């Protein structure tokens, strides 16, 4: 990219339903000006994972072209989001002696290396090592240990793992579309950047990005990540269930879903008929509104219950003292917030990108949370020394992103 563009930030959200490219001009430390937006339908992914390289490359290229036209220059690199059912996470602990009696950068690197020394399933790699807090000689919950005195340094870290093949396929698609992957960021971490306030992250909050193919969940407390989970159930499953249950086309099921959502009780009392397209041909038929409710309600409840069970299983309810923030296109389903409140028994709000500057109004929507959060992530990283691994292959470099996340923690 030309030197005059060295303050340009670019994000690429490779979603199951849409590709989204955002180009921003970083005005100062805090504000960004969006100068390019590109969007294209995506159908080369299933549940967040590339299943058709040609289709994925085509969609990325289409979105890129649109963003390039608007920005007025060629895009050759981007911060890219990653998700999918292959993503796993665990909490890990590391402990090392403090070599010179005072914590230095090297001690921090050592303790993080100790934390990431975990047995890995074959074909899996570490994507991120996210420090939650440090402990010096038993003194707990230290956020930045640099310069502190002691003998023993410990870290509690959250480790994100990804299947090497899925990561490589994503990086290959980006490269084939002409985009170098400067960084791979777990999508819910990006979305959290975009929709959570600093207070929420500090006091404790959950964020659930309900996309088309996956629902990506994260919990923050004391300003750092506590927990992550990717669930391969999201908006497209609602659409498919409606298409199968009402015997209509996927296209019409998508329309019905957006029009009726979870259907309010007043509408249901009348139990009106809804007009639907038949799968074969253009002929129309009618279905009971109650049939739609019986299809979509259990699916939405199931999605929330799976997340709720996960929270309970890991005993993390107390970490979500400010509640839950729903984002992603699936959160736009009418009635989702109310149902989530009922299932989780905590305050729930919808999250659109939080902007510190004039964002084009069209981007003020939960479906852009990941793409916008990827830009904010790039801003945060720019403050730190970016990790560079020379000529290492891109997939490998992306997997070695750990170091800049470590830098980002401070």
| Site of interaction with ligand ATP (CB under 6 A) | 15-18, 48, 83, 211-214, 234-236, 239, 254, 257-258, 328-330, 332-333, 367
Site string for Mg ion, 180-219 (x = CB under 5 A): -------------------------------x--------
Count of C-beta atoms within a 10 Å radius of residue 44: 21
Closest distance between ligand ATP and the C-beta of residue 170, in Å? 11
- Phi first, then psi, for residue 156 (nearest 5°) are -110, 120
Query: Could you say whether residue 44 binds Mg ion (CB under 5 A)?
Result: no
Residue 332, binding choice from ligand ATP, Mg ion, none, Cβ under 5 to 8 Å by partner class: ligand ATP
* Residue 8 or 295 having the CB closest to ligand ATP: 295
Question: Residue 348 class from Cβ within 10 Å (0-12 exposed, 13-18 middle, 19+ buried)?
Answer: buried
* Residue 156 or 370 having the CB closest to Mg ion: 370
Q: Give CA–CA dist 373/228, Å, rounded.
A: 16
- Beta strand extents in 27-123 (DSSP E only): 32-41, 45-46, 49-50, 77-82, 88-97
Query: Considering all CA atoms of the chain, what is the largest pairwise distance in Å, rounded to the nearest integer?
Result: 79
Contact 226, 220 (CB under 8 A): yes
* Residue 11 or 370 having the CB closest to Mg ion: 370
Closest distance between ligand ATP and the C-beta of residue 330, in Å? 5
380: left (phi over 0), alpha (psi -120 to 50) or beta: alpha
Q: Give CA–CA dist 312/333, Å, rounded.
A: 25
* Residue 14 or 115 having the CB closest to ligand ATP: 14
Nearest to 108 by CA among 86, 89, 134: 134
Q: Give, as one character, the DSSP assignment of residue 305.
A: H
Closest distance between ligand ATP and the C-beta of residue 263, in Å? 12
* Residue 292 or 367 having the CB closest to ligand ATP: 367
* Residue 19 or 129 having the CB closest to ligand ATP: 19
Q: Which of residues 97-156 bind Mg ion (CB under 5 A)?
A: none
Q: Give CA–CA dist 306/208, Å, rounded.
A: 12
Closest distance between ligand ATP and the C-beta of residue 405, in Å? 21
Q: Give CA–CA dist 124/302, Å, rounded.
A: 29
**# residues contacting Mg ion (CB under 5 A):** 3
Contact 238, 328 (CB under 8 A): no
Q: How far is CA 347 from CA 96, 106, 188, 324, 339, in A?
A: 41, 42, 19, 6, 11
Q: Give CA–CA dist 231/86, Å, rounded.
A: 10
* Residue 49 or 219 having the CB closest to ligand ATP: 49
Residue 333, binding choice from Mg ion, ligand ATP, none, Cβ under 5 to 8 Å by partner class: ligand ATP
Residue 166, binding choice from ligand ATP, Mg ion, none, Cβ under 5 to 8 Å by partner class: none
Query: Could you say whether residue 373 binds Mg ion (CB under 5 A)?
Result: no
Q: Give CA–CA dist 44/53, Å, rounded.
A: 7
Contact 118, 90 (CB under 8 A): yes
Closest distance between ligand ATP and the C-beta of residue 227, in Å? 19
Query: Could you say whether residue 15 binds Mg ion (CB under 5 A)?
Result: yes
Q: How far is CA 93 from the centre of its chain?
A: 25
Residue 18, binding choice from ligand ATP, Mg ion, none, Cβ under 5 to 8 Å by partner class: ligand ATP
Closest distance between ligand ATP and the C-beta of residue 77, in Å? 21
Residue 351, binding choice from ligand ATP, Mg ion, none, Cβ under 5 to 8 Å by partner class: none
* Residue 232 or 347 having the CB closest to ligand ATP: 232
* Residue 47 or 58 having the CB closest to Mg ion: 47
Chain residues binding Mg ion by CB under 5 A are: 15, 211, 370
């Amino acid at each position: 990219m030309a030197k005059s563009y060295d303050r340009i930030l670019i994000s690429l959200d490779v979603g199951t339903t849409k590709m989204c490219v955002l180009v921003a001009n970083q005005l100062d430390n805090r504000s960004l000006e969006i100068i390019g937006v590109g969007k294209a339908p995506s159908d080369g992914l299933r549940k967040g994972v590339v299943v058709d390289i040609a289709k994925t490359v085509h969609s990325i290229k289409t979105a890129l072209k649109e963003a390039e036209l608007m920005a007025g220059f060629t895009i050759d690199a981007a911060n890219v989001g990653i998700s999918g059912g292959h993503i796993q996470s665990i909490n890990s602990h590391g402990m090392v002696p403090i070599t010179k009696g005072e914590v230095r950068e090297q001690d921090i690197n050592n303790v993080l290396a100790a934390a990431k020394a975990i047995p890995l399933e074959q074909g899996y790699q570490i994507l991120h090592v996210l420090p939650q807090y440090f402990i010096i000689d038993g003194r707990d919950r230290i956020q930045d240990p640099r310069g502190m005195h002691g003998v023993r340094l410990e870290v509690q870290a959250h480790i994100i793992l990804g299947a090497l093949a899925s990561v490589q396929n994503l990086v290959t698609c980006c490269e084939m579309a002409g985009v170098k992957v400067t960084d791979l960021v777990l999508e819910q971490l990006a979305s959290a950047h975009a929709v959570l306030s600093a207070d929420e992250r500090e006091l404790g909050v959950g964020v659930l990005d309900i996309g088309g193919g996956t629902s990506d969940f994260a919990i923050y407390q004391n300003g750092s990540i506590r927990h992550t989970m990717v669930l391969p159930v999201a908006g497209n499953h609602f659409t498919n269930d409606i298409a199968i249950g009402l015997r209509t086309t996927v296209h019409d099921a998508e329309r019905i879903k957006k029009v009726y959502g979870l259907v309010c009780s007043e509408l249901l009392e009348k139990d009106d008929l809804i007009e639907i397209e038949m799968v074969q041909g253009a002929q129309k038929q009618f279905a009971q509104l109650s049939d739609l409710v019986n299809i979509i309600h259990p699916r939405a409840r199931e999605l929330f219950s799976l997340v709720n069970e996960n929270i309970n299983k890991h005993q993390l309810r107390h970490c979500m003292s400010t509640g839950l923030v729903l984002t992603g296109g699936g959160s736009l389903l009418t009635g989702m917030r109310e149902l989530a409140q009922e299932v989780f028994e905590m305050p729930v709000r919808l999250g659109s990108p939080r902007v510190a500057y004039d964002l084009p109004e069209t981007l003020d929507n939960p479906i852009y949370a990941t793409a916008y959060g990827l830009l904010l992530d790039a801003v945060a990283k720019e403050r730190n020394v970016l990790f560079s691994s020379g000529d290492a292959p891109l997939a490998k470099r992306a997997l070695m992103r750990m170091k800049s996340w470590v830098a980002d923690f401070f």
